[in-house]
Amino acid sequence: MDMITSTSETRGGEGKSEGKREGLDPDRLLPTSEPELSIARELYESVKDDPIISPHAHVPVEWYAQDRHFASPTELFITPDHYVTRLLHACGIPLSALGVGQKHLTSEQARNAFVLMGKHWIAFAGTPMRYWFEDSLQRVFGITTPFGPKTAGKIYDQLSEMLPLPEYSTRALALRFNMAAVSTTDDPVENLDAHDQINRDLKLPYIVMPAFRPDSYLEPARADWPDRARALGAAAGVDTSTYDGFCEAMRVRRRYFKEHGAVLSDHSHFDIAMQHLSEKKVRELYAQAYRGIISSGDAVLLRRHLLFDQATFAQEDHLTMTVHPSVYRDYDPRIRAIYGHDAGGDVPARADFTRALKPMLNAYGNNPDFHFVAFTIDETVFSRELAPLAGFYPAMYIGAPWWFLDGPESIDRYFHAVVPYAGFTKLSGFIDDTRALCSIPSRHDMNRRVTAGYIAGLVAQHRISMEDALELIKFEVDTLPRHVFKISHLKKDIKK
């Protein structure tokens, strides 16, 4: 670890004068000209060592709890990261060659996959995936050799030697990442024992928050929905054969999650519309769904009502509600059949928030204690829908730019699109949303750099003072995520 610390800190003072420097430039991603550069440097410096708060992510809870080791650099950096496998697949490399959907890679397969990525590294130029990877290599492993066709094999070998060492276990890495709080994404029937262990038993400096993600329990069109409803009932100890029982079970499980550290419920239906049916109607549709005989049209109505209910429950238990709609999941059915879910065949769809959220916002949007965060992967809604809605409704916040929009360019466009009419205080703070453990610090650091650049622009244009600017960047990195996801309460609320 000495090595890592030293390399990641070496770069501070000397700067530009030393000619061709080894490793990443300390000013990377910052504005490239004055006066913005100096301003951004000061802003970035003011938060770069702040603890990471990560309210939405997908790293398995066990990795935070236990000393697991990655079998190979490929299984760390390539196979589980669909950002990376997608683009390699787009370059003509079969997903199978990258280990996707396979149980285990031979060491030859693993090395080949890594070398193949090196060979195609030019295809990653200008992508955030390249940025995160190169940043992680240096930040986490102290490797300053530029990655590429000629060096991939050597770097693979270096990494292979490090990964079995104690300081590169999943937990050791997480400890090193200066995280204050990180979220997982969980099924409502989970027992959350691993979360309890981390938050209660282990003396870890970070908390790991489960997130209540009931998508499949709210889709009555699914063939397995009656089974899901029963499983939810079993987990809650409530009979879910009626709509009222289902609601009660949801309330019980949400409360259970909250007691085990959850701060939010997360929802990723294709259609985010919410709608409130009459009691009579919803009981009728629920009964049909429970017997597996609901029509597809009625299943839509029921789903919209059940989702509306989640907002209603949030009025009571105060979990923040987050939505990630408008994704075509498994766009390619053949890829799905061979490689499983999340193998890359997901693509964005056109989003609609204004019409879809109207009933819910009309009902709850004016309640400042309710926090609703809308994420989008269709950036046309930033200025047209999300900023105007969040710039009016106290309950509504604009999620950080997500998947397909989480690179430096789109984050910058996001700020320019939403801040003018919603202001900084109606943003969500950064979300890394990652399955790739080592990308967590790189992604948060990237965001701090890009945010510093955007705010520096406001200062350089004489629109805000440096004092305001320092407050704003602290907002983005610390105040906002704590506030929007009510994480400050959580520390003391955690079940002992």
| Window 9 to 28, contacts with a second copy (CB under 8 A) | 24-25, 27-28
When asked if residue 470 is in the footprint of a second copy (CB under 8 A), the reply is no
When asked if residue 359 is in the footprint of a second copy (CB under 8 A), the reply is no
User: Any idea which residue has 């928030």 for tokens?
Assistant: 353
Nearest to a second copy of 182, 458 (CB atom): 458
Which one of residues 11, 36, 231, 400 is an interface residue with a second copy (CB under 8 A)? 36
Q: How far is the CB of 394 from a second copy (least distance, A)?
A: 5
Contacts of 415 (CB under 8 A, 6+ apart): 451, 454
Nearest to a second copy of 1, 328 (CB atom): 328
Q: What angle do CA 25, 31, 36 make, to 5 degrees?
A: 125
Looking only at the bridges linking them, the beta strands covering 179-183 and 207-209 are parallel
Judge residue 474's burial from the number of C-beta atoms within 10 Å of its C-beta, 0-12 exposed, 13-18 middle, 19 or more buried. Answer: middle
Nearest to a second copy of 83, 217 (CB atom): 83
Nearest to a second copy of 196, 476 (CB atom): 476
When asked if residue 42 is in the footprint of a second copy (CB under 8 A), the reply is no
When asked if residue 128 is in the footprint of a second copy (CB under 8 A), the reply is yes
Nearest to a second copy of 61, 129 (CB atom): 129
When asked if residue 410 is in the footprint of a second copy (CB under 8 A), the reply is yes
Residue 350, amino acid: R
When asked if residue 366 is in the footprint of a second copy (CB under 8 A), the reply is yes
Which CA distances in Å does 84 have to 119, 169, 170, 203?
14, 22, 20, 34
Contact 336, 330 (CB under 8 A): yes
State how far the Cα of 143 lies from the Cα of 141, in Å rounded to an integer.
5
- Can you say how many angstroms the Cα of residue 40 is from the centroid of all Cα atoms in its chain? 25
Q: How far is the CB of 26 from a second copy (least distance, A)?
A: 9
When asked if residue 41 is in the footprint of a second copy (CB under 8 A), the reply is no
Which one of residues 29, 110, 232, 238 is an interface residue with a second copy (CB under 8 A)? 29
Nearest to a second copy of 70, 393 (CB atom): 393
Nearest to a second copy of 295, 366 (CB atom): 366
Which one of residues 396, 400, 484, 490 is an interface residue with a second copy (CB under 8 A)? 396
When asked if residue 80 is in the footprint of a second copy (CB under 8 A), the reply is no
Work out the angle between the directed axes of helices 439-460 and 128-141 (0-180°, nearest 10). 110
* Interface mask toward a second copy for 136-175; x: CB under 8 A: ----------x-----------------------------
CB atoms inside a 10 Å sphere around CB 64: 26
Which one of residues 214, 429, 457, 481 is an interface residue with a second copy (CB under 8 A)? 457
Q: How far is the CB of 230 from a second copy (least distance, A)?
A: 34
Site residues for a second copy, 422-451, by CB under 8 A, read 422-426
When asked if residue 354 is in the footprint of a second copy (CB under 8 A), the reply is yes
Q: How many chain residues interact with a second copy (CB under 8 A)?
A: 94
Which one of residues 391, 478, 483, 494 is an interface residue with a second copy (CB under 8 A)? 391
Nearest to a second copy of 126, 166 (CB atom): 126
Q: How far is the CB of 455 from a second copy (least distance, A)?
A: 8
Q: Which stretch binds a second copy (CB under 8 A): 98-106, 173-181, 284-292, 342-350?
A: 342-350
DSSP 8-state code for residue 277: -
CB atoms inside a 10 Å sphere around CB 242: 14
Rg (CA), the chain: 23
* Interface mask toward a second copy for 81-110; x: CB under 8 A: -----xx-xxxx------------------
When asked if residue 465 is in the footprint of a second copy (CB under 8 A), the reply is yes
Which one of residues 9, 103, 125, 496 is an interface residue with a second copy (CB under 8 A)? 125
Contact 227, 234 (CB under 8 A): no
Query: Which 3 state secondary structure label does DSSP give 397?
Result: strand
When asked if residue 179 is in the footprint of a second copy (CB under 8 A), the reply is no
Nearest to a second copy of 226, 391 (CB atom): 391
* Helix and strand counts by DSSP (H, E) for the chain: 23, 9
**In sequence order, what DSSP letters do the residues of 169-234 get, joined into one string?**
SHHHHHHHTTEEEEE--B-TT---HHHHIIIIIS--SSEEE--B--GGGG-TTSTTHHHHHHHHHH
Which one of residues 172, 464, 478, 483 is an interface residue with a second copy (CB under 8 A)? 464
State how far the Cα of 36 lies from the Cα of 31, in Å rounded to an integer.
6
Q: Could you give the residue ranges of the DSSP H alpha helices within 11-127?
A: 36-47, 61-65, 73-77, 82-90, 107-119
When asked if residue 130 is in the footprint of a second copy (CB under 8 A), the reply is yes
Site residues for a second copy, 270-329, by CB under 8 A, read 328
Q: How far is the CB of 256 from a second copy (least distance, A)?
A: 29
Contacts of 270 (CB under 8 A, 6+ apart): 325, 326, 327, 328, 329, 349
